[in-house]
Amino acid sequence: MAAHSDIPFKRLPVKIIGTGSYVPERRLTNADLEKMVDTSHEWIIERTGIVERRIAAPDEYTSHMGTKAAQRALESCGLKPEDIDLIIVATITPDTFTPSTSCYIQDALGAKNAAAFDISAACSGFLFAMKTAVQYIGTGQMKTALIIAAEKLSTVVNWEDRSTCVLFGDGAGAAVLQASTGEEGEGSVLATDIGSDGSLHDLLQIPGGGSRCPTTAENAHERLATLAMRGNETFRHAVTRMKASAASVIERAGLTADDIQLIIPHQANLRIINAVAQRLSIPEDKVFVNIEKYGNTSAAAVAIAFDEARRSGRFGKGDNVVLVTFGAGLTWSAAVIRW
């Protein structure tokens, strides 16, 4: 008899069976920002591609937005909250440090059978959550997972810093994953990739508010608990890492750029999106962009875009779709899905 370690382990294939998204009602336009800081609509458009972004109401929390996106994802695949046995929430703007935002969402949904936890990978969070859910389902530990990316970035933006306040918005996206029958297609996750480089942690960060630099009466005026970014260096690393991550999953899925029907990149900056597509030799008409409506919603950005692309018919049965992201940490991630 073979030793236990010699017995081949068969992983279960995993598929996405539903998606959903939610954005707040309030629109903050470039014209509105012109009244707040020294900027202009033309300047913002030229450098970012953003026209407006959504801002959550004061009493609308990250968990509220995540719950609404999750409900829509469940509705899209006909499941009930009790059918979920794992909830993973990707966010850098949790309702509270503890308990986790996933626990608030579990309670709001009534997903009483689900284990729930948060992850923090900034803009790469949704695909980090996807990779994690694929591992749980693929090893047979869980049957049905709900992954959610939700952000209320308006609470961590310095609204006096014109270089960053024009970039960010609020929103949430979600997806439901299950083990598949083994047939490719129908939302099959063909390949995933995640990576990090902590030596570049200072390129994009919220330096204050944590245990390293708690907010105190003495430093509150410095607004250290808001987003700070070194834009030019972040741009360069974003393009390089996103291109490499996307190329990696395309190759591991046994595909080429010509086999990709749609790429859905992180919606951070239109110039970054265009540069990544060009380096991957993917034409403009195969790139999904909605940054003009929502700005950068961090972990939620690719999740919202994925749901919008699906619902609008930008991809269909048998199409190969690439999702790719980049975020603070530095982190990056990608996935190939055959629909």
The answer to whether 266 is a known catalytic residue is yes
The runs of H, that is alpha helices, within 261-327 are 270-279, 291-294, 300-311
Q: If DSSP codes are grouped into helix, strand and coil, which group holds residue 153? A: helix
Other Cβ atoms within 10 Å of 209 Cβ, number:
14
One of 123, 165, 269, 320 is an active-site residue; which one?
123
The reply to whether 103 belongs to the active site is no
Distance between CA atoms of residues 61 and 244, nearest Å:
35
Q: Are 301 and 267 in contact (CB under 8 A)?
A: yes
Structure tokens at 222: 């410095």
Q: Are 91 and 104 a contacting pair, CB within 8 Å?
A: no
In angstroms, the CA 120 to CA 128 distance is 9
Give the strands of the sheet with 144-152, arranged side by side: 115-119, 86-90, 144-152, 170-179, 14-22, 188-196, 331-338, 320-327, 262-265
Residue from 64, 165, 269, 296 carrying the catalytic annotation: 296
State whether the Cα torsion 307-168-246-329 is positive or negative.
Answer: negative
**Two tokens, residue 316:** 């269909």
Coil vs helix vs strand at 266: coil
- The residue annotated as part of the active site, out of 30, 103, 266, 320, is 266
Neighbours of 58 (CB within 10 A): 8
Q: For this structure, is 123 an active site residue?
A: yes
Residue 173 backbone dihedrals phi, psi, to 5 degrees: -140, 160
Helix (H, G, I), strand (E, B) or coil at 177: strand
Residues in the chain: 339
Pairwise CA distance, residues 296 & 318, whole Å:
29
What amino acid positions are annotated as catalytic residues?
123, 266, 296
